[in-house]
Amino acid sequence: MNQIFPMQTNSNFRNNKQRVVKKKNNPIRKSRIVDYLDPKFLGRFTNDQGKILPKRITGLNAFQQRRVALAIKYARHLALIPFVAQDIA
Amino acid sequence: MSLRRTYETTVIVNAALEDADVDAVVAKITTYIENHGGEILEVEKWGRRRLAYPINKKFNGFYVHIIFEALTNTIPILERFLVLEDTILRHLTLILPQKLRDYRAKKITGDGRPIEPAPEDEEATADIAVV
C-alpha cells in the first residue's frame, strides 16, 4: 500500500501537470574557447541575414553566447563574415 | 612597467598590390614590431580572399596573420602605425590566449582544417552568394 500509493500519485501528477523538460543540446558542449577567425564555425550562430541568433535558439550557455557574440563582431570587422548578407535572388 | 604578452594581429592588405609589394608591407610591419622590442613568433599569409563586404570599394583583400610577443606599451604605437599605413584596409590586434593557440593547433592537426584556404575560399564566396 505504502509503496504503490505514491507511485500512482506521481504518475498522475506527471501526466497532468509536469511537463517533460526538453534538454537543449549545446552545439559546442562545455568548450570555453571560441575562434573568431573561423567563419564557418561562427556561421552556425547567425541567421541567413547575418544576424546573431539568440541564446534560446543557439542552445549555448550564457558564457559561450557572450564569447560567440564577441567573436562574430571581431570577424565582421575583419570582413570574414558579413554585417548584412546580400540578398542575391 | 609593462608586461610582455602574446598578441595576434590580423591585417587586410590591399589586394591590388603585387605580391612583392605585399611582402614589403608585411616585412615593414614585422620589422616595426621587432624595432619596438617585440618578437615575431609566426607570420601566416592567408593570401587573397574575397571580403564579406566591400571595404573602401575593394572586394578582395590579402590577409596576413601575425603572432608576436611584445610589451604592452608597444601596442598603441603599432596600432597607430597600422592606421597610418594606407595600403592596409583593416587590422585587428588582440591578446592571444594560450588556450586559443592550443585549440587552433589541435584543430589543424585534428581534422585537417586548411589554414591556407585555397579550396575553402571558393566555398566561402559560394556561401555568401547563396545567402
Per-position pLDDT tens, chain A of length 89: 555 555 555 555 555 555 666 656 676 777 788 889 988 889 889 998 899 999 888 888 889 999 999 999 999 999 999 999 876 55
CB of B99 less than 8 A from some CB of A: yes
Question: What is the structure's pLDDT at B23?
Answer: 92
The partner residue sitting opposite B10, judged by closest CB among A78, A81, A86, is: A78
CB contacts < 8 Å between A and B, how many? 53
Residue B105, φ and ψ in degrees, nearest 5: -60, -40
Interface residues from chain A to B (CB-CB < 8 Å): 32-33, 35, 37-40, 43, 48, 50, 74, 76-88
**In whole angstroms, what is the distance from residue B100 CA to residue A34 CA?**
8
Question: What is the structure's pLDDT at A34?
Answer: 87
HEC sequence for B28-86: HHHHHHHHCCCEEEEEEEEEEEEEEEEECCEEEEEEEEEEEEEEHHHHHHHHHHHHHCC
Model ipTM? 0.75
CB of B55 less than 8 A from some CB of A: yes
Does residue B72 have a pLDDT over 50? yes
**Residue B15 identity (one-letter amino acid):** A
C-alpha cell belonging to residue B86: 594606407
For residue B126, list chain A residues with Cβ-Cβ distance below 8 A: none
CB of B104 less than 8 A from some CB of A: yes
Contact flag B94-A74 (C-beta cutoff 8 Å): yes
Q: Which of B61, B58, B79, B62 is nearest to B70 (CA)?
A: B79
For residue B63, list chain A residues with Cβ-Cβ distance below 8 A: 78
Domain A27-89 architecture: Irregular (4.10)
The CA–CA distances, whole Å, from B96 to A37, A60, B5 equal: 12, 23, 8
Q: Which of B11, B32, B31 is nearest to B22 (CA)?
A: B11
Sign of CA dihedral B129, B64, A37, B55: negative
pLDDT one-digit tens code per residue, B11-35:
999 999 998 999 999 999 999 999 9
C-alpha cell belonging to residue A81: 563574415
Contact flag A86-B124 (C-beta cutoff 8 Å): no
**In whole angstroms, what is the distance from residue B15 CA to residue B87 CA?**
9
3-state helix, strand, coil in chain A (%, to 5): 45, 0, 55
For residue B102, what is the nearest residue in chain A, using CA coordinates?
A33
